[in-house]
Structure 1
Amino acid sequence: MLVFQVIALLLSLLGPRHTSSEEECQPWQDLDSAVVHKDGQVILAAMFPIHSKSVEQELNFRSMPDKRKCKGLSLRSLRWSQSMIFFIEEINRNPTLLPNITLGYRIYDTCWTMALSARTALSVISQPLKRNSTGACSSPTIPLLIGDPSSSSSMSISRLLNLNKVPMISYFASCACLSDKMQYPYFFRTIPSDSYQASAMARLVMHFGWTWVGTFGADDAYGRTGIDMFTAEVTHLGACVAFRVIIPKSPTQQQIQDIVKLMKDSTARVLVGFAIEEDIQPVLEEMVRQNITGRLWVASEAWVTSTLISNKYPIPGFKDFLQSLRPFSEPYNPSAQEFWETVFQCSFNTSLPLGSMADQVQYNRMCTGEERIQDTETIYNDVSQLRVTYNIYKAVFAAAHALHNLLICQTQESSTVIKYLKEVNFTTEFGDSVYFDKYGNPPGTYDIVNWQKDPRGGPMHFATVGRFDSSLPPEQQLLIHQDAIVWPGGSKEMPVSVCSASCQPGYRKAPRKGEPICCYDCVPCAEGSISNGEVYQPECTLCPEDLWSNPQRDSCVDKQIEFLSFTEGFGMALAATSILGVAATVTVAVIFIRHKDTPLVRANNSELSFLLLMSLSLCFLCALTFLGQPSRWACPLRRTAFGLTFALCLSCLLSKTLVVLMAFRATLPGNNAARWFRPPQQRFGVFICSAIQCAVCVAWLTTSPPYPVKNTWLYRDRIILECHLGSVALFGCVLGYIGCMAAFCFILAFLARKLPDNFNEAKFITFSMLIFCAVWIAYIPAYVSSPGKFTVAVEIFAILASSFGVLLCIFAPKCYIIIFMPQKNTKKYLMSQKGGR
């Protein structure tokens, strides 16, 4: 229907017109009669939704359409229109602003319909001719339009006004889409863009921890865009939208019931609305009818009735001006009579013109016209909440300042009011700066208002409990006085609106498949990670490398330090075994000392035997260095002590083996080899073999010695203190040298094992080396596969086992003969052949 109306109007406007003579001048023909007007040198046009609904009419395309009729008088919007007149009269009385210029006005009623808004825009840009005071035809000057309050209508109107480069200043259209200067180059507004409002509302919701909210919006650009921006902002901050509802402009009862049922069934307890009061009212009424409670509304500025000036900044004289309205005063206001009948419940003579009123109600009492508005309390004369009125104030004065600068600064004929609108910058009498950014927007500043019910049964009042100012740094933009808030039901306890309750400390959020991220299950944190129960912590946090989670998984504690200690049972057993080995070695030495003059002791090279016993004692003591906490001195000590003591032990065994071989060869006729392996040569051989190992150890200690490390990669919950080898190559040289001597000693002893002798020591050396090699060969896989401190235990076990193997195989048979079979400890027995008498 709107398309056909616009086409018809354009055809009528573009038809042939004769304006060449005074006789052909036409009076101003507005497309609608509900216009409040006053002449002036410069005329400002304005649009207000004085009525809420339009009356449908038949369009037959055979005659001009009738004047549009509307119904549903809005006292609040009527006050807005009156404020426009009040502010223009103030400007006309101001000697410094637009001096010698009289401002006129034309105020249109759009009835909240896009069709009438478009017709108004066409009326403004058509500007029909009329006679001026000199009798000549002229066109009234309308440099700009103030309005429209609807974002959707503003989008359509702006496109029409663009044709004639007529700017528009809106006092209520907040859709962020209107900031697009490519589409709306001449659009300005004194209400902040919804982009600021969406950010403010999202920050407000997150401030109170409401992560599960429902959204409502009107079926227009304001509602849809507002929901989209709020959803994007709140989702970015970590919250979720439970549902999205678009309220039709003319909803059926079934549609309203479906909307309320969706809200009732949802677990969201906080509802965010982007709609004017006319759109949201049917939903609220149905909620009241169904007695739905426990819901909290976060309302947009379109219906929350917040204010920037409230009671602190009253507009002087405004209330008196509102109360001076009369039904038939000049300039004639078509809505004044309807206002009078509505407020005073009376009727005028029905023959009087009713203007655009289409739903007149006849009352039994006749109106006199002398009734006093002062005696009534309506939203019309309530000047405590003047948020939109203040926006109108800024729009009118911004237009006046732009016109003022245009008139006094115009040096080029091409200058227009648009250029000066972009440069407007003034301070209101209330201390607020008024200017437009490059998108035609003011700064985003909002009061946060709390609806509070009077406990004594009085009317609802609005308490300012916070403020949002986009011009401040991000951390200072939102300010809330939470103690001043009264929650639904008069409670001081903040309501909760979440899909899933916050996880307790020690638990993390596990998202539910196919549901928003705000809906989750709580599962325990894994070992080594914690959560402290903060609302915005979706995952568990890993503890630092040297810390571990406590059993409750809510804090990190020091990891358990692990090393093979003297004080634990296993360490005590190994230490006792080591000491036992030393005691056994000393016992053997004592037995040998007491029987040093016996043939058995003397025949087995007592000097090498005592040197071997000393080295075995050092081997047993060496095992003790592997116990206890690794340190910078303990790590080099245990490795070098192991290498040197075993090198000394094997050097002695090697010398003993060579002595046996040389002794056998000395019994052969003409062989003098034994004289080359006497005690001095034996001592020198032991020294040389030990010195080589000592040289390797010195090189190891000076270049890259062993050092203590914290092993955090083997176990996640423990720290293993161990010794790093430093130079692995030099450690390999130490082990390789010991292995080579053991292998060489074993080969020589194996070759001499069957030499004819009653007490062939080579046989015992063979057994000892067999045990020695078996132990250390088995040590390698056991060392690699043993975890943590058990690696050290395996090494100690190998040291002790190989040392006991040598001690028992070499010295146990001798001690047995010395103590229990002294008859064999004779020179005759030792010199006899094996098996002889």
Structure 2
Amino acid sequence: MKHFLVSLHLLGSFLQIMSQCTVPRSEFHLEGDYLVGGLFDIHEVTESISFTRVCCLFSAHSQPFVSSSHRRFQLMRFSVEEINNSTDLLPDVSLGYEIFDYCTDVQNFPSIFKLISVNGLIQAQNEPHNNLSKVVAVVGLYTSTETRTAAPFFMKNLIPMVSYGASSSIFSRKQIFPSFLRTARPNKDIMQVIVNIVLHFKWQWVAFLTSDNDYGNDGLDLFTKMIRKTDICLAYTNSLNHHTDYTQIFKRINAQNISIIIVFALERTAEVLIESAIQLNVTNKVWIAGDAWSLNKKLPKVIGIKSIGTVLGVCEVAMAIPGFSDFIHRSKSHARCESDGQQKFCNQVCNCSSLSPEEIFAADPSFSFSVYSAVYAIAHALHKVLQCGAGRCNRNVTVLPRMVLAELKKSNFTLLNETIHFDENGDPMFGSYSIIYWNDNGDAEVVGISTFQPSFHLLINNSKIQWYSNEDVPTSKCSQECKAGHVKYQGGIHKCCFTCEICPRDTYVNTTEDPYKCNVCKKTEWSAEGSTSCNLRVVEYMPFTSPIAILIMIGAVALEILTLAISVLFSINYNTPIVRSAGGPMCFLILGCLSLSSLSVFFFFGKPTPPFCILRLLPFILFYTVCVACFVVRSFQIVCIFKMAAKFPNLYSWWTKYHGQWLVITGAFVMQAVLLLIGYSQETPKPYDETLWSPDKIILTCDTNLKGTAGSVILLSSLCCLCFIFSYMGKDLPKNYNEAKAITFCLLLLIVTWMVFATAYILYHDMFIQILNSLAVLFSLYYFLMWYFLPKCYIIIFQPQKNTPQYFQGLIQNYTKTISQ
């Protein structure tokens, strides 16, 4: 800090030497009770200037003239004059100004020292303020780079600096720039408008060109952050300076097929860019201009400007300032060129007296209201500090810059129907932006507006814009949008560049939430391939009230009645040869197991529950095993009596002595019960929602327990095979004893039935597979009932002559004679 203060003292000591450059009286100075400093870049230095050159050797007025800045300079002069003529604002206090042409950072430090010095000396920060400068605040600067250089000198003593154009975000940081305020909206607001313009027209693939300075770099940084959660992709970016190769820039832009170019650059930089685009024959582009050059008066008149495409832009809403026109005409008619003996800096000379009022009015009017409101904000703050009221002010108040700063921060007044006030960062909470379009007449036509208070809102009248294609809004995309039901697959760094992949069945894509993901439908929903939403599945199961279910259950009840009737008939005729040859007491066991097996049929209907799923096959498998086991031993006994008794007398003796048939039946029953118990304990059948075979339906069924029933099915199948072998061996026995043929036929029907069911189950998994399963169970029961028992019932009832011992003995004797022959 000590080195900094010493430097300030040394530089300030040169002010006496530098002030010896005598020039004619100019419009840059006005005496007053209090002075407002002004810094305007009326001329622009386009080449590097040596640090060693002093002010008078480098004349600002010899550099290129900036008409828009000169207009703003005149507007400050007018604002001060208007305030001095007012009886309400600073009524008995005159306001003066000290304005400098800030054309370059290098050569304008003397101007800054002049504003913060007293009698050529700069007071140290901690010394008492014995001699105070009349400068209570400064209006300026225009660009962010210039402001960043000059602002620290004013921050030291908290001299208010109200900028009318510096929009970089860094100036909102009060710990670095405590006495800085601005009447131009910051870059974040401008960039919000530009981003929303791009979103409004659904552009995605854009280029962003900036000035190679604080203004451009800050704009690019803000733009990059704002588009992160949007569909906008920054395809190309570059910073523009004196060494830029515009040919390469446009080659890159064309190579990437970019149609939208955002140019966030200073006015002079933008002019060079657009002129280069015309010379390089760049066509069919949409240019979006920042507020620094959108109202440029030169470019819309350049030959060939229409060929580059359509130019849109953002600018502060144009506001007519009453009295400014009269002031310019009056000033030009009373131009003061004579010398009054005063000594002025050389960068307080304009040499622009030859400008006509029309030329001033024709200049770019951007930031006019920003200058006007900046001067008025300072005046209102000074008005509060001086306790002005009732036509007079308190001149006994010692005005310090920090006092003006405190009142500036609390500003709240109306100017041209606009309420002027600042937020805690010194940024304006007023103003709006116009969306303009360069029409065929070379004018900036307003086609929309963007407001920030109370919330952001953008409105654009598309019908006013004539696009370069004379058709609809141009498109700018890296990849064409995917068809409905397709997701985007991003292969590179840009989310706008992608390939499209169709979403598979039972998934969908919601493009508003995440266009890069196929979402899985809920279990209760389904979707076809390439869907954007899911549909509810139709829940289906076979209810008890279904006609086909009722018919099957009637068949099961009929089987129960038949088994009961046959049991009664066999009980009455228990001692007859037919009943004894059919198995005697074993017949009642078979009929009882057939009746119990039919219970499974009833559990195939209704909404599946865990008990229903268990009882669907458990009774059938368990009791049907007993039935088959009975037929196994019955077939074995018939063959044994007629064919094996004589050959294997010991085996036959053991079989009859120990009741071998009942041992086999009991063993089969116990073994099947154990297998079912083990299998169901490992994996119990449970309800299952079948969605694979019918994508638009949920079939309520039971999960097939293959592991749990494998052992039981193998046992039952083995018994069927044994039964078939024994019954086939007895096919040539006496007719009334020839039950083997009936058993063989039943087994063949049984095999065919379950093969048909297995084939249907593999190929078809709809709700009606449960119908087929119940029918297979029911038919398996009816086969034995119809082909084994009913023929015997027929003989008992309708052919009693065949149900006698004599008839059976005759059949046996005939069979014996046949064998002996």
- TM-score (norm: length of structure 2): 0.70
- Residue number among 118, 141, 146 corresponding to 1:153 in the alignment: 146
Which amino acid is 1:121 matched to?
A: I
Q: Decide whether the 8 Å contact of 2:600 with 2:615 is kept in 1.
A: no
- Residue number among 484, 491, 500 corresponding to 1:505 in the alignment: 484
Which amino acid is 1:205 matched to?
A: V
Q: Decide whether the 8 Å contact of 1:162 with 1:184 is kept in 2.
A: yes
Q: Decide whether the 8 Å contact of 2:59 with 2:347 is kept in 1.
A: no
Which amino acid is 2:370 matched to?
A: N
Name the residue aligned to 2:379: 400
Name the residue aligned to 1:72: 64
Give the drift of 1:741. Answer: 12
Give the drift of 1:652. Answer: 7.0
CA deviations 1:74-124 (Å, max 9, x no partner) are: 22211111110111112112223223211100111112x222444422221
Name the residue aligned to 2:37: 45
Matches within 5 A, 1:755-834: 788-789=765-766, 792=770, 799=777, 803=781, 826-827=808-809
Name the residue aligned to 1:3: none
Name the residue aligned to 1:127: 118
Name the residue aligned to 1:341: none
| Residues 740 and 539 (structure 1), Cα distance of their counterparts in 2 relative to 1, 3 Å cut | closer
Name the residue aligned to 1:324: 330
Does 1:427 pair with 2:413? yes
Name the residue aligned to 1:314: 320
- Residue number among 10, 13, 20 corresponding to 2:11 in the alignment: 13
Q: Distance in 2 between matches of 1:424 and 1:387?
A: 26
Matches within 5 A, 1:432-447: 432-443=418-429, 445-447=431-433
Name the residue aligned to 1:493: 472
Of residues 186-195 and 798-807 in structure 1, the stretch that sits farther from structure 2 once superposed is 798-807
Name the residue aligned to 2:229: 236
Q: Decide whether the 8 Å contact of 1:768 with 1:806 is kept in 2.
A: no
Name the residue aligned to 1:177: 170
| Residues 354 and 516 (structure 1), Cα distance of their counterparts in 2 relative to 1, 3 Å cut | closer
Which amino acid is 1:13 matched to?
A: L
Name the residue aligned to 1:194: 187
Does 1:390 pair with 2:369? yes
Q: Decide whether the 8 Å contact of 1:720 with 1:788 is kept in 2.
A: no
Matches within 5 A, 1:200-349: 200-248=193-241, 250-251=242-243, 255-305=245-295, 308-310=316-318, 313-326=319-332, 329-330=335-336
Give the unaligned 5+ runs of structure 2: 122-129, 296-313, 341-345, 389-395, 641-649, 651-655
Q: The residue matched to 2:288 in structure 1 has which SS?
A: strand
Q: Decide whether the 8 Å contact of 1:749 with 1:762 is kept in 2.
A: no
| Residues 792 and 92 (structure 1), Cα distance of their counterparts in 2 relative to 1, 3 Å cut | same
| Residues 241 and 738 (structure 1), Cα distance of their counterparts in 2 relative to 1, 3 Å cut | closer
Q: Decide whether the 8 Å contact of 2:434 with 2:448 is kept in 1.
A: yes
- Residue number among 690, 701, 706 corresponding to 1:711 in the alignment: 690
Does 1:90 pair with 2:94? no
Which amino acid is 1:224 matched to?
A: N
Name the residue aligned to 2:505: 527
How many correspondences in the alignment?
Answer: 732
Which amino acid is 1:826 matched to?
A: F
Q: Distance in 2 between matches of 1:738 and 1:59?
A: 104
Q: The residue matched to 1:416 in structure 2 has which SS?
A: helix
Give the drift of 1:244. Answer: 0.5
Q: Decide whether the 8 Å contact of 1:179 with 1:440 is kept in 2.
A: yes
Q: Decide whether the 8 Å contact of 2:136 with 2:401 is kept in 1.
A: no
Which amino acid is 1:287 matched to?
A: A
Q: The residue matched to 2:76 in structure 1 has which SS?
A: helix
Name the residue aligned to 2:392: none
CA deviations 1:440-491 (Å, max 9, x no partner) are: 111375323221425xxx441321413141x434xxx232233444043384
Q: The residue matched to 1:298 in structure 2 has which SS?
A: strand
CA deviations 1:745-764 (Å, max 9, x no partner) are: 9999999x99xx99999999
Give the drift of 1:58. Answer: 6.0
Q: Distance in 1 between matches of 2:135 and 2:399?
A: 17
State the identity as a percent.
21
Q: The residue matched to 1:51 in structure 2 has which SS?
A: coil
Give the drift of 1:175. Answer: 0.7
Give the drift of 1:264. Answer: 3.6
Give the drift of 1:416. Answer: 2.2
Name the residue aligned to 1:472: 454
Q: The residue matched to 2:228 in structure 1 has which SS?
A: helix
Q: Decide whether the 8 Å contact of 1:450 with 1:486 is kept in 2.
A: no
Which amino acid is 1:511 matched to?
A: Q
Which amino acid is 2:251 matched to?
A: K
Q: Decide whether the 8 Å contact of 1:531 with 1:539 is kept in 2.
A: yes
Matches within 5 A, 1:21-32: none
Q: The residue matched to 2:188 in structure 1 has which SS?
A: helix
| Residues 279 and 57 (structure 1), Cα distance of their counterparts in 2 relative to 1, 3 Å cut | closer
Which amino acid is 2:361 matched to?
A: N
Q: The residue matched to 1:52 in structure 2 has which SS?
A: coil
Q: Distance in 2 between matches of 1:493 and 1:535?
A: 28
Does 1:381 pair with 2:367? no
Name the residue aligned to 1:22: none
Q: Decide whether the 8 Å contact of 2:44 with 2:63 is kept in 1.
A: yes
| Residues 272 and 58 (structure 1), Cα distance of their counterparts in 2 relative to 1, 3 Å cut | closer
Does 1:461 pair with 2:457? no
Q: Distance in 1 between matches of 2:68 and 2:171?
A: 25
Which amino acid is 1:496 matched to?
A: T
Give the drift of 1:10. Answer: 4.9
Q: The residue matched to 2:487 in structure 1 has which SS?
A: strand
Q: Decide whether the 8 Å contact of 1:70 with 1:357 is kept in 2.
A: no
Q: The residue matched to 2:227 in structure 1 has which SS?
A: helix
Q: Distance in 1 between matches of 2:338 and 2:163?
A: 25
| Residues 624 and 232 (structure 1), Cα distance of their counterparts in 2 relative to 1, 3 Å cut | same
Of residues 495-504 and 606-615 in structure 1, the stretch that sits farther from structure 2 once superposed is 606-615
Q: Distance in 2 between matches of 1:720 and 1:224?
A: 59
| Residues 236 and 391 (structure 1), Cα distance of their counterparts in 2 relative to 1, 3 Å cut | same
CA deviations 1:282-303 (Å, max 9, x no partner) are: 1101112233221111222112
Q: The residue matched to 1:224 in structure 2 has which SS?
A: helix
Give the drift of 1:711. Answer: 3.3
Does 1:114 pair with 2:96? no
Name the residue aligned to 2:435: 449
CA deviations 1:126-173 (Å, max 9, x no partner) are: 33259xxxxxx9664112211010101111111222233322110001
Which amino acid is 1:127 matched to?
A: V
Q: Distance in 2 between matches of 1:127 and 1:176?
A: 32
Which amino acid is 2:377 matched to?
A: A
Q: The residue matched to 1:826 in structure 2 has which SS?
A: helix
| Residues 637 and 32 (structure 1), Cα distance of their counterparts in 2 relative to 1, 3 Å cut | farther
Of residues 179-188 and 641-650 in structure 1, the stretch that sits farther from structure 2 once superposed is 641-650
| Residues 63 and 95 (structure 1), Cα distance of their counterparts in 2 relative to 1, 3 Å cut | closer
Higher RCO (CA-CA < 8 Å; seq separation 6+): 2
- TM-score (norm: length of structure 1): 0.69
Q: Decide whether the 8 Å contact of 2:504 with 2:528 is kept in 1.
A: no
Q: Distance in 1 between matches of 2:715 and 2:514?
A: 65
